[in-house]
Amino acid sequence: MRAPALLLLIGALLPLGACNTQTNSGATGPAIGPLAAAPLAGPERDKAWMKLAPTAPVDPKIARATVDYPTREAPGTVIVVTKERRLYYVLPDGKAVRYPVAVGHAGMAWAGTAEVDRKGEWPDWNPPPEMLARRPDLPKRLEGGPTSPIGARALYLAEGKKDTLFRIHGTNEPEKIGQAVSSGCIRMLNDDVVDLYDRVPIGAKVVVR
């Protein structure tokens, strides 16, 4: 596929921002123009791709902040409060890091207790079968990169060792943070999901309510 055609396809995918069912745990460069010719890795890749990823202004009232957050959950727990469109990473001493998120729209939200089963940097996007049935024109796989609907990082949630098919991940639609728009997954600003990714280990408890 020629680069201009691929860019048009990616542009058409931007509003979807859906969860994927499988991704590679490692990241690969996007097959877009010069990026494919010079793969990057680690901090160098993050710096370059963050500059290319979509951005939008964030209301200071909802921006990431450390706040008072008394809870019975142990430090290290991730709590998503869907009605608030906020995610809390519990800290010691009644504190938490609060992040703005986008959540599932009506009928698509998930609630429960899970754990982080695995993590991925700039993961690939694989539309789930239900989406492919609705949109047979979509690719079965889109490599991770700055325009990917999954964004810079993803945390994969399992319940009793079974994949929930729900993720906490970055986004290519930062202007929709704070809204109920996703297909059920929890979307974060790319800068925020990188910050959370670095804090949260595999096995961490996640509470979505």
Residues involved in catalysis: 169, 185
Q: What is the CA radius of gyration of the chain?
A: 17
DSSP 65-119: EEEE---SSPTT-EEEETTTTEEEEE-STTEEEEEEEEEEPTTT---EEEEEEEE
Tokens of 133: 């049935």
Give the SS3 label for residue 43: helix
Phi and psi based region of residue 147 (left: phi greater than 0; alpha: psi -120 to 50; beta: remaining): alpha
The H or E element that residue 3 is part of is helix 3-13
- 195, 61 Cβ separation under 8 angstroms: no
- Could you give the angle at which helices 42-52 and 190-199 cross, rounded to 10 degrees? 150
